[in-house]
Amino acid sequence: MTSSWTFLVRPSEEPSRTDSAVSAKGTRIRFADGLEAYCATSGLWNVPLGYGREEIADAVARALRDASYLTLFRRSHPYAEEAAERVIAFTRMPFSRVLFATSGGAANDLMMKLCRHYWALEGLSPRPIVVGLRGSYHGLTFGAHALSGEELSQSLYGVEGREVRHVPFDDGGAALESLFRREGGRIAALVIEPILGSGAFEVPGAFLATVQRLREHYGFLLVADEVATGFGRTGVRFASAGWAQAPDALVLSKALTNGACAASVVVVNDRIAAAFERHDSMLVHGETQAGAPASCAAILATLDLFEQTGAGEHFRTVSAQLDVVQERMLAHPRILGVRGRGAFRALSVSGPPSASRAAFEPSADASPGDVVQLVERVRRRGVIVHPGPSAVQLIPAAISHSDDIDRTADAILGALDEETAA
């Protein structure tokens, strides 16, 4: 996942890259080279309501003036309590408690600890194993890095994965069932992105049906990681709401504050909450800035805007516009297919033609380098898209207009033609 990699930030006295972003408003980003581009990725798909929302900035400013910092260590505060209540109501799912964190990765670390602690309280024997999907992405903090099913240099960093397993999602659940036959009594939880954040691969219904059958037999906790897919992105408020049975926990971040603050939550049901209350047990986890007043104010203001602006309906409109332009893009010989759902899609692309060929012949899937070069060509045409595995990802904001979507298609097709002619 190319977005995982971080640049070392230069000291201010060193010259900046000319393609560095310098400001953003609405759905437009300005770069140091003077280019202004439509952002077809809504940040890292965490700014669905547009950049620079005054309503969120004002709410954060008020919180900073009234209570610049309050802790959740050993006690609560009204900002967190109101935010928790609103998050639970917003999910429209049977949850009852909220745990605050500061990022999607940190929330997944917290979630894994929570699931293991739950079984220490409720199980006759330990259940340390957490299962994820191959190709999944859950973050790059230590636990989330292990849970991520992509190859992201886990061995280089000594990421501890002995109590993590990964299974494919495209085999109808056969490998998952085999895993449970071997280790079912030691598995604490299964964590699923409804649509994988890397590459927009949708988890098939046949796999989910196997999950539900195994869940009834083995009783493991089911977790939906909707850091990427939540808040209307896929055409419904939360993609996991369409599962046959609700998950036991929901991991949220990104759109939770419209990108304004570092915040995330793990929302859990009564099954998990009641175990901790019944045993009078405390989860050993803490982050200094988790649930701080400013981030809670950002959560509340963002949820208000989702409701007030009808963001869910806007996402459905954007999805319909993507349906229209993807038919035009699929006619291009280097676009091999489209994955995903709603306003969360990936265009599978082939590599550029070889210089040794007299005529263009579509080659195999594009390499990471090919995709990065294509993304830069698209940026120079005034549109920001995201590199994925042999794909260009489109994750537009809810406030995008039809002209924006048309412009995105034109930029991608023009970049592909430019590359083919080069």
Condensed to tens digits (0 to 9), the pLDDT of residues 313-351 reads: 999 999 999 999 999 999 999 999 999 999 999 999 999
Mean pLDDT across the stretch 59-76? 95
Condensed to tens digits (0 to 9), the pLDDT of residues 243-295 reads: 999 999 999 999 999 999 999 999 999 999 999 999 999 999 999 999 999 99
- pLDDT on residue 2: 39
- pLDDT on residue 173: 98
Condensed to tens digits (0 to 9), the pLDDT of residues 108-165 reads: 999 999 999 999 999 888 999 999 999 999 999 999 999 999 999 999 999 999 999 9
- Please give the span between the terminal C-alpha atoms of the chain, in angstroms, as a whole number: 27
Both 208 and 336 in a single domain? no
Domain termination site, one of 249, 282, 309? 309
Q: Between these two residues, 75 and 101, which has the higher pLDDT value?
A: 101
Place of tokens 């906790």: 221
Q: Is residue 45 scored above 60 in pLDDT?
A: yes
Indicate which CATH number applies to the domain containing 200: 3.40.640.10
Both 200 and 68 in a single domain? yes
- pLDDT on residue 18: 73
Per the CB < 8 A criterion, the answer to whether 101 and 110 are in contact is yes
Both 162 and 174 in a single domain? yes
Both 205 and 334 in a single domain? no
Both 224 and 340 in a single domain? no
Residue 15: domain span: 2-52+310-421
Phi, psi of 115 (to 5 degrees): -65, -40
All residues at 6 or more sequence positions from 48 whose CB lies less than 8 Å from its CB, including other chains: 42, 231, 232, 233, 255, 258, 311, 315, 397, 398, 399
Domain termination site, one of 309, 324, 351? 309
All residues at 6 or more sequence positions from 403 whose CB lies less than 8 Å from its CB, including other chains: none
- pLDDT on residue 355: 46
Cα–Cα distance, 249 to 224 (Å, whole number): 6
In the chain, the number of structural domains is 2
Residue 26: C-alpha distances to residues 6, 50, 52, 159, 296 (Å): 25, 4, 7, 38, 22
- pLDDT on residue 37: 97
CA 234 to chain CA centroid, nearest Å: 11
Can you say whether the dihedral through the CA atoms of 394, 390, 197, 345 is positive or negative? positive
Q: Is residue 103 scored above 70 in pLDDT?
A: yes
What's 9-32 look like in SS3?
CCCCCCCCCCCCEEEEEECEEEEC
Both 41 and 77 in a single domain? no
Both 289 and 323 in a single domain? no
All residues at 6 or more sequence positions from 37 whose CB lies less than 8 Å from its CB, including other chains: 28, 29, 31, 379, 382, 383, 384
| 356 confidence band (pLDDT: 50, 70, 90) | very low
- pLDDT on residue 13: 57
| 9 confidence band (pLDDT: 50, 70, 90) | low
Both 94 and 163 in a single domain? yes
Domain termination site, one of 288, 309, 330? 309
Cα–Cα distance, 49 to 299 (Å, whole number): 13
Cα–Cα distance, 118 to 113 (Å, whole number): 9
- pLDDT on residue 15: 54
Q: Is residue 220 scored above 60 in pLDDT?
A: yes
Per-residue tokens: 15: 């010259």
pTM (predicted TM-score) = 0.94
Both 242 and 95 in a single domain? yes
Cα–Cα distance, 325 to 315 (Å, whole number): 15
Q: Please tell me the chain's helix, strand, coil percentages from 3-state DSSP, rounded to the nearest 5.
A: 40, 20, 40
Both 226 and 302 in a single domain? yes
Both 229 and 154 in a single domain? yes
Q: Is residue 306 scored above 90 in pLDDT?
A: yes
Helices 402-421 and 368-380 sit at what angle, rounded to 10 degrees? 120
- pLDDT on residue 14: 59
Mean pLDDT across the stretch 94-120? 98
Mean pLDDT across the stretch 190-216? 97
Of 415, 414, 403, 410, the closest CA to residue 26 belongs to 403
All residues at 6 or more sequence positions from 260 whose CB lies less than 8 Å from its CB, including other chains: 53, 56, 57, 60, 298, 302
Condensed to tens digits (0 to 9), the pLDDT of residues 359-407 reads: 445 556 789 899 999 999 999 999 999 999 999 999 999 999 999 999 9
Q: How high is the mean pLDDT of the chain?
A: 93
- pLDDT on residue 16: 60
- pLDDT on residue 1: 39
- pLDDT on residue 3: 43
Per the CB < 8 A criterion, the answer to whether 138 and 144 are in contact is yes
**CA atoms within 13 Å, Cβ hemisphere of 104:** 27
| 354 confidence band (pLDDT: 50, 70, 90) | low
Mean pLDDT across the stretch 216-231? 98
Both 165 and 190 in a single domain? yes
Of 215, 220, 249, 301, the closest CA to residue 99 belongs to 249
AA identity, residue 81? E
Of 307, 111, 322, 138, the closest CA to residue 229 belongs to 138
Indicate which CATH number applies to the domain containing 380: 3.90.1150.10
